[in-house]
Structure 1
Amino acid sequence: MVDWSAVVTVFSVYMASAVIPGPNFVAITHKAVTGKRSDTFALVAGIVTVNLFWATCAMLGIGAVFAIFPWLAVGVRIAGAAYLVWFGLRLLMSARATPAEAKHPPKAPRFRAAFLQGVATNIANPKSIAFYAAVFSSAVPAHVSTQTFFAMLATVGAAATCWYGAVALVLSHAAIAAAYRRAKAWIDLTCGGLMIALGIRQAFR
């Protein structure tokens, strides 16, 4: 039998965190205004996949693992922060590209690359790791039925897909992409700066 109160709690806790802009939001924003819509949704799929992974780990007790092995949590946080800084630097460098180059992205297959970028962005996202290890895991009851476990997992997957999918759909609109091309350098510099700031902040927390 499904414990719906637990499912609702998980949904509320997850959405309260998801709507706060972080590395995932910045990555989706940049992909939406620079790449194809299909690539943006591929990136979202990668982010959602990792959300399901972290949610599963949290419900199985990753918070306890990090409490027993604090050095592991520190290592994961530092590695994630390093990735965010690296990604931010790439965005700063892309600010030099001309609007014409942004309008005509490479024709090589990018769907798989976009999916893997979404996976890398979220699995190295210190915000996600900290949220699932501390806040999310504490919101999940200690013992739940198999039905409740999968209901909570499905709730996280559906909520992440709807939220990030909506962001991708809105920001990949042609008018928004055209506005990006007119202000490409400033947007890339802003997104890159945010990624680097988030990475540095997480590294020294």
Structure 2
Amino acid sequence: MTYAASLLLITGIYLAVLASPGPNFFILSQMALDGRHREARYAVYGLTTGSIFWVLVSMAGLATLLSQHPWLASALRYIGAAYLMWYGARLLWSAFSPSVAREVNAQAFDRGGKPLTAYRTGLLTGMTNPKGAAFWTSAFAAVFPAAAPFWFYALTVLLVAALSLGWHLGITLIFGTPTLRGFYLRIERGVNGVAGGVLVTLGLQRLLSR
């Protein structure tokens, strides 16, 4: 697989994960609905920092382990493929199941209006989100090429930062109005279905590739 294809694959998987609503979505949308746009922006910066942290940790481990233990690369590929199919299947199941009412933990929001508090909220959410942690330590590791040059590492970090920043800032803008947020929630099951199908397909592709 070429480096360009690897970047496209990383982009596709990461966007599919971002597209499925989770803690990040509900924290940012709630802040936007409350008119706390400045706090929402700082929360986005925190979430992006969390994504950068995970990608750096993942790449640091890969740089050493995969170069010394080729069998580990194969194991990670299988683990990552299994995770993609498992998570994709969950999204597909949610697409065909009745919507479940969601509640956001009130402790996740600080109404003091402090940018540092909002940044910390985003950072902790990004670093402790089980979905994100599982993605970076399994699926990402499975698709990241072994023995990649330094420029590929740097470009991947910039790519992840740009995708995270752009997506989460987009949420704060789009869901700043109740009407648009309500529209997205109405099509959420469709989004989950598409994202789930993409993840299952990618998982099968990784499982069958050599």
TM-score scaled by length of structure 2: 0.60
Could you give the per-residue CA deviations for residues 162-183 of structure 1, whole angstroms, max 9, x where no partner exists?
Answer: 111111111124xx39x99xxx
Contact 2:39 2:113 in 1 (8 A): no
Which consecutive aligned stretches of 4+ in structure 1 deviate over 3 angstroms post-superposition?
none
- Whether 1:163 aligns to 2:163 is no
Gaps of 5+ in 2: 66-71, 73-102, 183-210
Aligned to 1:33: 33
Does the 8 A contact of 2:26 with 2:104 survive in 1?
A: no
Q: Report the equivalent of 2:24.
A: 24
Match of 1:110 among 111, 114, 117: 114
- Paired with 1:27 and 1:159, the residues of 2 have a C-alpha distance of 18
Q: What is the deviation of 1:89?
A: 4.1
Q: CA deviation at 1:4?
A: 2.1
Give 1:61 deviation, angstroms. Answer: 2.4
Does the Cα contact within 8 Å between 1:3 and 1:148 map onto a contact in 2? yes
1:150 to 154, 161, 164: 154
* Alpha-carbon distance between aligned partners in 2 of 1:31 and 1:56, rounded to the nearest angstrom: 28
| Match runs of 1:13-92 below 5 Å | 13-61=13-61, 88-90=104-106
- Residue 190 of structure 1 is matched in structure 2 by none
Superposition pairs of residues 113-132 of structure 1, within 5 angstroms = 113-132=117-136
**TM-score (norm: length of structure 1):** 0.61
SS at match of 2:118: helix
What do you get for the CA RMSD once the two structures are aligned? 2.9
Deviation at 1:109, TM superposition (A): 4.8
Deviation at 1:91, TM superposition (A): 5.8
3-state SS of paired residue (1:61): helix
The answer to which of 131-140 and 3-12 deviates more is 3-12
Report the Cα distance in structure 1 between the residues aligned to 2:57 and 2:46, rounded to whole angstroms. 17
Q: What percentage of aligned pairs have identical amino acids? A: 22
1:109-161 deviation per Cα after TM superposition (whole angstroms, max 9, x unaligned): 51111111000111111111111111111110111111010111111111111
How far residue 45 of structure 1 moved from its aligned partner, in angstroms, is 0.8
Which amino acid is 1:117 matched to?
T
> Does the 8 A contact of 2:31 with 2:39 survive in 1?
yes
**Aligned residue pair count:** 142
